[in-house]
Structure 1
Amino acid sequence: MEKHHYSVYLKLVFVALFWGGTFIAGRIVSTEVPHMIAAAGRFFVACLCLLPLAWKLEGGLPKLSRQQMLATLGLGASGIFFYNLFFLAALQRMPAGRSALFVSLSPIVTALSMAVIFRERLGWRKWLGIAIAFIGAAIVLTRGELMQAVHDLSASMGWGEAFMLCAVASWTTYTILGKQALKGLSPVAATTYASLWGFVMLCIGAIFQWSDFNASRLNWQVQSAIVFLGVFGTVIGFIWYYEGVKALGPARTAVFNNLVPVFGVALSALMLHEPILISMVVGGLLVMLGVTITNRSNAAPPSSAEKAN
């Protein structure tokens, strides 16, 4: 662990804590407010914080090149619009702790995607880690009833699980695009532009859900949850995550997502009184073991792309 990266690692641990907390906040919000409106509220709060921050730290937002505009648009679509759409839809249908465990798959999907897109070779050790991670995910997905799922997958996997898998795919896209978006852009600028793009998209979607909105359901718990999602889950979390991607690369940064389900499950048990199933513990540990094996070599010498940073 490089000495000058200690602060980056510490920030990524706190990012995992904040994002673990978003599952609890998201669960509270998703049951009371239409998804597009809730997500738009989250990024309204985020943009209110990000714009003054960008002016204070960097004197404003830089003018984007065509490539940067497309990259930040992609970040807004994948990590803001689609992720929040799938994220809140999943939390409306399944417990927060169980949803958080699906985030463990993000580093595996990221590693596979990097291998396909950038033709990175996966050795036998990485394939072993991937296999272990997917076995663990299957245990979580089926609540330990693997054989029953073989005969009737619909008995174990519902719309909540399907939406959460889509959220993982959206976040993988966001992580990979983040590497490209950071070329010539600071974490603050990239996060602000991505949030602005995403906010516009969510506002358009919110128009179609406005008839389902009931202002009386915006109690202090829901309002506090939206503020937490906007400030800690977005502003602080996204900027520090971007710093990790820029300093360590996408694969090494994605490893810290292992801590998100740990915090998510623990917080959901403490705050929402959700049960912790044996299948969640066993499956979650297998996923984290698999991810550790898969990304072990990525943490040892940095790749040429990482050295460029």
Structure 2
Amino acid sequence: MVINRGLYVRLAGAAVLWGGTFVAGRLLAAEVSPAAAAFVRFALAGAVLAALAWREGEPVAWTPRTLGWFALLGLTGVAGYNLLFFTGLRTVEAGRAALIIANNPVAIAAGAALVLGERLGLRASLGIGVAVVGACVVVSRGHPLQVLRGGVGVGELCIAGCVVCWTAYTLIGRRALAGLSPLQATAGACVVGAAILAGPALAGGLARGIGAWSATAWASALYLALGGTVLAFVWYYRGVQALGAARAGVFINLVPVSGVVFGWLFLGERLDPSVWVGGALVATGIALTRTRAEAPPVRTGSS
């Protein structure tokens, strides 16, 4: 019982840490280019995760096969996701972004049905529809028909693009990384993703500008790398290994909640009706989509 209580605390802590990435990302995006922010985050996280994998007796296997898969994962879940993430957070509130990205489990379920042929029942299909409506309410700030008319901002579209990138990352991981531990897979993806980001970051003046980063920027980058990537990943997947994916995955629902609360507490973001209504629809859709037989979201961390 004591062990389970400790696991539950760590799982909740991982979800809260991920919720905090939206605030840290918004603070970092306010003064650093998206490529520079993403590169620094994953250069630090990748180095720490690779060292941790070696220490745990699970060194990353750098073979031609794994390098190819790591490149795909790095392009989608690291480089693509985070370029869109930091670009979107320049104009989109942390809480609103968290609710949009809360659609990840729903998009993954739909993608698995379309690409991998996984069966999608009536309840799950209804959940996808409800969640999509909720996402449209959040993205359009309470005017969902604007999505059809193209009246949605670039920032909102970038955050929605994060969901597409994460879905691709997850589906690739399910097919490609059988035989690798979660720690090995995530470390490899972070290292290769950081390498992909290095060029755009340097071209954007990272070498010249990094010395002028404020204390807030460095604190945000360290939080994103060590708290939101390394620590949250380790806590979450230890919970998955001990409790199973379905029970551990329930805690992911705390991510958008903590993102909204942190945005209100630390950034003074206003919680307008579209956030409440859209968030309730997204939560309902996720609840309908999840099943007891659900597989792990994939061998990796989150936001």
TM-score range, shorter chain: 0.7 to 0.9
Q: How far is the alpha carbon of 1:150 from its aligned partner?
A: 6.7
Distance (Å, rounded) in 2 between the aligned partners of 1:204 and 1:174: 21
1:121 maps to what in 2?
119
2:174 maps to what in 1?
179
Matches within 5 A, 1:4-43: 11-43=10-42
Q: How far is the alpha carbon of 1:167 from its aligned partner?
A: 0.7
Identify which of 232, 250, 269 aligns with 1:237: 232
Q: How far is the alpha carbon of 1:49 from its aligned partner?
A: 1.9
Aligned-pair identity in percent equals 36
Q: How far is the alpha carbon of 1:224 from its aligned partner?
A: 0.5
- The two structures have a TM-score, normalised by structure 1, of 0.84
Q: Output the amino acid matched with 1:202.
A: L
Q: Output the amino acid matched with 2:13.
A: F
2:144 maps to what in 1?
146
Distance (Å, rounded) in 1 between the aligned partners of 2:185 and 2:71: 10
The question of 1:195 aligning with 2:194 is answered no
Q: Cα–Cα, structure 1 residues 94 and 55, in superposed 2: closer, same or farther, change >3 Å?
A: same
Q: How far is the alpha carbon of 1:18 from its aligned partner?
A: 1.1
| Structure 2, unaligned runs of 5 or more | 299-303
2:301 maps to what in 1?
none
- The two structures have a TM-score, normalised by structure 2, of 0.86
Aligned to 2:56, the other structure's residue is in SS state: helix
Distance (Å, rounded) in 2 between the aligned partners of 1:302 and 1:257: 13
> How many residues in Structure 1 have an aligned counterpart in Structure 2?
294
Asked if 2 retains the 8 angstrom alpha-carbon contact of 1:97 and 1:264, the reply is: yes
1:134-182 Cα offsets, whole Å, 9 max, x none, are: 11112112222235x277431xx11001101111111112223333454
Asked if 1 retains the 8 angstrom alpha-carbon contact of 2:36 and 2:206, the reply is: no
Q: Cα–Cα, structure 1 residues 118 and 248, in superposed 2: closer, same or farther, change >3 Å?
A: farther
Identify which of 66, 81, 84 aligns with 2:82: 84
Asked if 2 retains the 8 angstrom alpha-carbon contact of 1:187 and 1:239, the reply is: no
RMSD across aligned positions (CA): 2.8
| Structure 1, unaligned runs of 5 or more | none
Q: How far is the alpha carbon of 1:14 from its aligned partner?
A: 2.4
Q: Cα–Cα, structure 1 residues 302 and 194, in superposed 2: closer, same or farther, change >3 Å?
A: closer
The question of 1:46 aligning with 2:50 is answered no
Distance (Å, rounded) in 2 between the aligned partners of 1:200 and 1:150: 35
1:92-128 Cα offsets, whole Å, 9 max, x none, are: 1211111111111111100000101221222221121
Q: How far is the alpha carbon of 1:240 from its aligned partner?
A: 4.3
Q: How far is the alpha carbon of 1:288 from its aligned partner?
A: 0.7
1:162 maps to what in 2?
157
